């Protein structure tokens, strides 16, 4: 899989390191799948690369013993923390991190800790970590990542230098998916649009076979009226329900765009362009608007963990062209 590294951010770190202005804590903020933790990892590698330290180069060499240990995940002075398969970063993980940061570095010039998605730290974890952020031990670099900066303790955010990651433009992501991942144009267009320009998210969707999944949603809920079994299956699983609603929302937005005279490159479901063109004539503006409102409402209900079985069934009735 192609790694997602934000070269612009990496270069900023490179300049900071070179000029001796590297601070002790950074918060990389941006949407999920945009390459924050991959970039953090590259920074950790760069900081300790022996050839870079010797002044022989400005990037990581990938060959010295530090780079090799980093790439094999065995660097003793680099700690990576995430929530793993659970839904939060626990106090025990933070306690262990703190005690390791207090020890002398084994071999690195800078000990690095990378904490992924700090929004999932428990309140206890955040508070314990705050002290380390306030009084960092010397020679420590902390790189935190978050996709929702506003949901974190303000005291944590304010003690970090925030570096923002912005999504690439949809055309740029589409080009990369075609060039680097060998996708056809309609798939690349769909994944670039649906991931809102996040290359990492787009690749993840592709690996999960999302093109087929989203077409199953459309086939079963837009083009078929005998889809009770399918609907039941979807409704039994919240993430699947959410995905189905999001796919339908993008489908009806496509119809609205076409009805308003929009261009082909604005369409999400480019792989089904001909069907969209035919279908667009069968809905009125008001009908599409109504469906979009219902979809947005259903997504909100789902977000609040409310039962959306009835709204979804009513929605399906509306979707069918009478």
Using the rule CB under 5 A, give the single segment among 60-68, 91-99, 151-159, 293-301 that binds Zn ion: 60-68
Helices (H), the chain: 7-18, 36-48, 50-53, 65-71, 91-102, 123-134, 154-157, 170-181, 185-194, 199-207, 210-221, 228-235, 238-259, 273-280, 285-303, 309-319
* Cβ neighbours, 10 Å, residue 233: 13
List, as one string, the DSSP characters of 64-126. SHHHHHHHTT--TTEEEE--TTSSSB-HHHHHHHHHHHHSPPSS-SSEEEEES-GGGB-HHHH
Using CB under 5 A as the binding rule, whether residue 17 contacts Zn ion is answered as: no
Q: Which is closer to Zn ion, CB of 63 or CB of 264?
A: 63
Q: Name, in order, each residue with C-beta under 8 angstroms of 88's C-beta and a sequence gap of 6 or more.
A: 120, 121, 122, 125
Q: Which is closer to Zn ion, CB of 73 or CB of 226?
A: 73
Q: Which is closer to Zn ion, CB of 61 or CB of 91?
A: 61
What are the CA-CA distances from residue 201 to residues 31, 177, 210 (Å)? 9, 11, 11
Classify 320 as helix, strand or coil: coil
Cβ at position 45, least distance to Zn ion in Å: 7
Cβ at position 107, least distance to Zn ion in Å: 13
Rg (CA), the chain: 24
Site string (287-306) toward Zn ion, x via CB under 5 A: --------------------
Cβ at position 79, least distance to Zn ion in Å: 19
Using CB under 5 A as the binding rule, whether residue 49 contacts Zn ion is answered as: yes
Total residues in contact with Zn ion, by rule CB under 5 A: 4
Using the rule CB under 5 A, give the single segment among 7-15, 45-53, 99-107, 171-179 that binds Zn ion: 45-53
Using CB under 5 A as the binding rule, whether residue 61 contacts Zn ion is answered as: yes
Residues 97-126 that bind Zn ion (CB under 5 A): none
Q: Which is closer to Zn ion, CB of 56 or CB of 92?
A: 56
CB-based contact 24:136 (threshold 8 Å): yes
Cβ at position 53, least distance to Zn ion in Å: 9
Using the rule CB under 5 A, give the single segment among 22-30, 64-72, 216-224, 242-250 that binds Zn ion: 64-72
Cβ at position 6, least distance to Zn ion in Å: 20
Cβ at position 81, least distance to Zn ion in Å: 24
Q: Name, in order, each residue with C-beta under 8 angstroms of 4's C-beta and a sequence gap of 6 or more.
A: 33, 34, 35, 38, 39, 199, 200, 203
Q: Which is closer to Zn ion, CB of 13 or CB of 283?
A: 13
Cβ at position 82, least distance to Zn ion in Å: 25
Cβ at position 253, least distance to Zn ion in Å: 47
Residues that bind Zn ion (CB under 5 A): 49, 61, 64, 67
């Amino acid at each position: 899989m192609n790694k997602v590294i934000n070269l612009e951010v990496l270069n900023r770190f490179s300049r900071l390191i070179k000029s001796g202005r590297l601070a002790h804590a950074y918060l990389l903020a941006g949407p999920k799948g945009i390459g924050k933790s991959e970039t953090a990892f590259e920074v950790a590698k760069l900081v300790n690369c022996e050839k870079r330290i010797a002044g022989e180069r400005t990037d990581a060499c990938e060959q010295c013993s530090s780079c090799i240990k980093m790439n094999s995940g065995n660097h003793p002075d680099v700690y990576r923390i995430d929530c793993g398969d659970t839904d939060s970063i626990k106090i025990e993980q933070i306690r262990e991190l703190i005690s390791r940061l207090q020890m002398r570095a084994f071999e690195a010039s800078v000990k690095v800790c990378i904490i992924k998605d700090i929004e999932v730290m428990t309140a206890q974890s955040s508070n314990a970590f705050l002290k380390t952020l306030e009084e960092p031990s010397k020679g420590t670099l902390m790189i935190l990542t978050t996709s929702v900066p506003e949901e974190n303790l303000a005291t944590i955010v304010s003690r970090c230098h925030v570096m923002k990651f912005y999504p690439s433009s949809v055309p740029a992501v589409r080009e990369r998916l075609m060039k680097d991942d060998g996708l056809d144009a309609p798939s690349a267009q769909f994944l670039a649009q649906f991931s809102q320009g996040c290359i990492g998210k787009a690749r993840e969707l592709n690996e999960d076979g999302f093109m087929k999944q989203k077409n199953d949603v459309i086939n079963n809920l837009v083009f078929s009226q005998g889809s009770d079994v399918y609907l039941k299956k979807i409704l039994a699983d919240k993430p699947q329900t959410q995905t189905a609603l999001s796919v339908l929302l993008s489908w009806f937005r496509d119809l609205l765009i076409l009805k308003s005279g929009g261009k082909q490159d604005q369409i999400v479901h480019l792989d089904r362009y001909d069907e969209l063109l035919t279908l667009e004539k069968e809905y009125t503006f008001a009908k599409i608007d109504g469906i979009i409102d219902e979809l947005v409402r259903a997504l909100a209900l789902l977000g609040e963990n409310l039962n959306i079985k009835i709204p979804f069934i009513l929605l399906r009735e509306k979707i069918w062209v009478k």
